[in-house]
Structure 1
Amino acid sequence: MAPRTRAEALSRERIVEAAVELLDAAGERGLTFKTLTERLATGPGAIYWHVPNKGALLDAATASVIATALNVEAGGSPEDEIRAIGLGLFEAIERHPWLSPQLALQLSRSPRGSVTPRIFEGIGQRVSALGIPETAWFTATSALVHYIFGAAGQNAANSRVLGPGVDRAEFLHAAANAWEELDPGEFPFLRAVAAEARDHDDRAQFLTGIELILAGIAGAGGSRRP
């Protein structure tokens, strides 16, 4: 048997793994074929053998992270699996700051790519098992997908804006104090929820949003048969 070439010995999976590491450390600007070859201690030809360009590399890195987030243990109720997928995606976007803009690009520009179909299929299969009419599957699934990525993306953006040197609890405490000092005639709602905003948990709040959507699906005649 002929010995494998260096390009063949370097797996596509290892290239994507290294790309994710670079993206996590330095963002999209930090991912170049030069930095990737340095990290992998190889030549560019070995990488081009598997990945033709940076766009394809970003797509592959996004798909890899999303596939892990969508990999939930089967056997629970559809609702439990939807919660698990939602939380998995929420945490993936939180851990990987570059992921949210890449998802936005793929969801809008590449509906036939690998990521968008997997996300809709992963959530849609569970939605279809809730007992709702087939005519409501797309709308219900879209509502969940848009909520998950909107809420998770905003949470990740908030963390980036605050920066590593800002204490989240102190920031929320100051914001809640400011709300409590607003004019009660003009801002009665903000004053009423200020204490809750001060002490809220991001993940618990996120899951509450999923619960509200699931309750809406059930209330629209989509509750699963017992």
Structure 2
Amino acid sequence: MVKKAAPAPRREDSLSRDRIVDVAIELLDAEGESGLTFRALAGRLATGPGAIYWHVANKGELLTAACDAIVGRTMTIAVAGESPETDIRALALGLFDAIDAHPWVGSALTRAPGQLPAVRILEGLGQALCALGVPAERQWPTVSALLSYILGVAGQNAANAHVGRTLGTDRLAFLSSVAATWSELDEEAFPFVRSMAGPLREHDDRADFLAGIDLILGGVCGQATG
């Protein structure tokens, strides 16, 4: 007797764009961008790809929507309105942690310039800079510098973590190996880098990131009051 194929699992909840985005985030976190396919998404949602296309036109749109969801949640939590400087630091650190937790967000942001995820960040940083009294003619270069620093450092941090996982080593072992290499460099040719071997081994990524934000803010505040 031929057995009947098991029926496909039925989706009990109604399919919505928000539900699709949430499951896309789960796929991206688990498998990266290469794992985000409409077939995989349909399997998790227990529906057909056609139903997903009704809500999302293509993978690029879905990736941007997933990125926007992460950015929107981050900004809702980060900005407390205590002071402009506090808001900038909180927003920057929130994005740093979000990209660390969801490494695909950094590349998604760089591939969607001018779209809603980047617009949210620009608006948050820009309002804080206006509150700091940054002159109108300095607002664009200032917010651009902040955004470039945040995305650049957070993206590099996430990339470093990926390299470590690829090599099958943890952060401390990786940094210790690099520090050992630096300490053996020629003392006359690389005196500064040799001196950084110790700090490299012991440094805190988040603390270093915030130190950079504070350096930028120091210059911003100096311009605003100068």
State the distance in 2 between where 1:78 and 1:52 align: 38
The answer to whether the aligner puts 1:171 opposite 2:177 as a matched pair is no
Give the counterpart of 2:29 among 24, 29, 54. 24
- Look up the match of 1:37: 42
* 2:79–2:91 contact (8 Å) kept in structure 1: no
* 1:130–1:223 contact (8 Å) kept in structure 2: no
Give the residue type in structure 1 aligned to 2:165: G
Q: Which secondary structure does the structure 2 equivalent of 1:163 belong to?
A: helix
Instruction: Give unmatched runs, 5+ long, in structure 2.
Output: 1-10
Deviation at 1:74, TM superposition (A): 2.4
Deviation at 1:40, TM superposition (A): 0.9
State the distance in 2 between where 1:82 and 1:73 align: 8
- Look up the match of 2:160: 158
Deviation at 1:116, TM superposition (A): 2.2
Give the counterpart of 1:142 among 129, 141, 144. 144
Give the counterpart of 2:129 among 94, 107, 127. 127
Of all paired residues, the percent bearing the same amino acid is 53
Give the residue type in structure 1 aligned to 2:25: V
TM-score computed with the length of structure 1 as normaliser = 0.89
Give the counterpart of 1:105 among 96, 107, 111. 111
Deviation at 1:91, TM superposition (A): 0.9
The answer to whether the aligner puts 1:85 opposite 2:91 as a matched pair is yes
TM-score computed with the length of structure 2 as normaliser = 0.89
TM superposition outliers: structure 1 runs of 4+ over 3 Å:
none
Deviation at 1:97, TM superposition (A): 2.0
Root mean square deviation of aligned Cα: 1.7
State the distance in 1 between where 2:170 and 2:80 align: 37
Instruction: Give unmatched runs, 5+ long, in structure 1.
Output: 1-5
Matched residue count:
213
